Amino acid sequence: MTHDGGRGALTDGSVLYRVDAGIAFVCLNRPAVHNALSPLSVRALAAAWQSIALDRHVRVAILHGAGDSFCSGRDLRATDLGFGARAGPDGSLPANDEWASRPGEPRRINYVPPPTLHKPVIAAIHGPALGGGLELALNCDIRLAAPDARFGLPEVTRGVVPGSGGMYWLPRLIGTGLAMEMLLTGRIIDAAEAMAMRMVNRVVARDELLPAAEALARRIVELPPLAVQAVKETVWRTMGAGVEEGLRVGEHQNRVLQMTRDAAEGATAFEEKRAPRYEGR
């Protein structure tokens, strides 16, 4: 099914969304243009993350691409830097595109998983993941890649910089020196180098990529959802914190979780030597 792109308007099918057994599948679906991000696909992605956040049946999400690519970034022919529709030759914007940013304005919509989304997102990457496409993957929690995956942030070669988290996440994942080399040159790397840099968790055969992501997602679905969300929230909140604050936040999360039914169920199931039945309460 296609996801509602916001305000009741159906998308053009550029993003597909479905939920199965606690897993939300978000599929970039513009294979003819390497899943480049159009204004409609940006709206649909933003709406998908909101749906995942609000749907208590969803425990984890998988982001992947149709065809031969993950995502080649912004569709330069149709989308401006703020991810609204491109202005006309006279600088006018479409009257119905409330998401378009005028020059100098902050972006009015974003397409990457937001920092407030405490449910894990797994990126299954094959083919090009470039520019905004790589930033999509960097904002996910776990990245699996096929051997044909390619990664790069070429924005500097076009006179701009990555604006959706690339400059934040890349140094934290692979270290400052390697990140600066990629950011300053726009160099594109393959899956083997990305694995060596620890940009991706592992490389799996192309036909095993989505099954591997699903297997990982199913493992997460089996776990108590409040604890899973607390792990993600704590890691993200303490990313730049000092040791005292980081330890305090983690300890506070643990005290809160100790008051949940799931924590009691986990202890009881262990004592009774049976599989736990977690409810997210």
Annotated catalytic sites, by residue? 135, 155
How many Cα neighbours within 13 Å face the side chain of 204? Answer: 17
DSSP string of 196-232, one letter each residue:
HHTSSSEE--GGGHHHHHHHHHHHHHTS-HHHHHHHH
Give the strands of the sheet with 142-145, arranged side by side. Answer: 15-20, 23-28, 60-65, 121-125, 142-145, 202-203
Cα separation of 58 and 79, whole Å? 30
Phi/psi for 47 (5° steps) reads -70, -35
8 Å CB contact between 65 and 71 = yes
The residues that bridge with 20 in the sheet, in sequence order, are 23
DSSP string of 42-54, one letter each residue:
HHHHHHHHHHHHH
3-class SS of residue 71? strand
Q: Choose among 140, 2, 159: nearest CA to 70.
A: 140
DSSP 8-state secondary structure symbol assigned to residue 78: T
Q: How far is CA 179 from CA 5, 213, 215, 243, in A?
A: 33, 26, 30, 25
Residue for token digits 């694995």? Answer: 195
The gap between the terminal CA atoms of the chain, to the nearest Å, is 30
